[in-house]
Amino acid sequence: MTGSSAGLGEAIARLLAAEGAEVIVHGRNEERAAAVVKSINDTGGRAIYVLGDLSTDEGADALANDALADGPVDILVNNAGAYQPRPWLQVSVDNWQESYNVNVLAYVRMIHRLLPAMKTLGWGRMVQIGSSGGIEPFALQPDYLAATAARHNLTVSLARELKGTGITSNTVAPGPMLVENTRNMLMNMAGQLGWGDKWADIERNAVEQFVQNDVGRFGKPEEVAAAVAYLSGPMADHVTGALLRVDGGHTRSV
């Protein structure tokens, strides 16, 4: 589970552990990764952590070697990524290249390193975390949105490649999620925009003005984790090449 020492990735790791999976938590900060693992193990789960910078082949090698030390991995959840909310003309060509490396090639690096051993099991799961912005892009962070669209695309191509192997490949595409950084940002914006000082009012106004959806609130990391858990389990054996949106109806398309 890449990028699982905090936020959305941490929620996915915790739920998979609660469902009985032995989880490999990944991050770049050892203290945070170790804290997540301790919390999972203290509550009856099974987890270890590995470290590695997936923007480089060397970092991916280190992570894969540690992850495969006890045998093949049967579920890969690619979640690690990064973005900056920059407008179009402030995103340089170098920024585009770096975004593609961090948000697409990092996924490819882990697929390349874990898939050969997974194939020996005759069963497995490849789950990419995408984004509703990869389906309906907006003006900010065009490099990141294009990268998430590439994640969606590679998932389907990979599903075709895995025909007959017992391994499925799917994408979960969250809409705007309420993680700590998002909540702090909205609280800071509330005074400037007249949204009030109660969280219920702030969230309602933020949804109405920025991230309209049919549910009327931001998503919770646990809701994305539930979608990943479904796709990772035996009840999803007949689901591959699919994109599962968890966005409250934010995406306006069939």
d(C-alpha 162, C-alpha 76), whole Å: 14
Q: Which of 49, 83, 100, 144 is catalytic?
A: 144
Quote the distance between the C-alpha of residue 98 and its chain's center. Answer: 18
Spatial neighbors of 163 by CB under 8 A, at least 6 apart, are none
d(C-alpha 180, C-alpha 223), whole Å: 16
Give the number of C-alpha atoms closer than 13 A to the C-alpha of residue 198, restricted to the C-beta side: 3
Spatial neighbors of 94 by CB under 8 A, at least 6 apart, are none
| Residue 144 falls in the annotated catalytic set | yes
Catalytic residue numbers, as ranges:
144
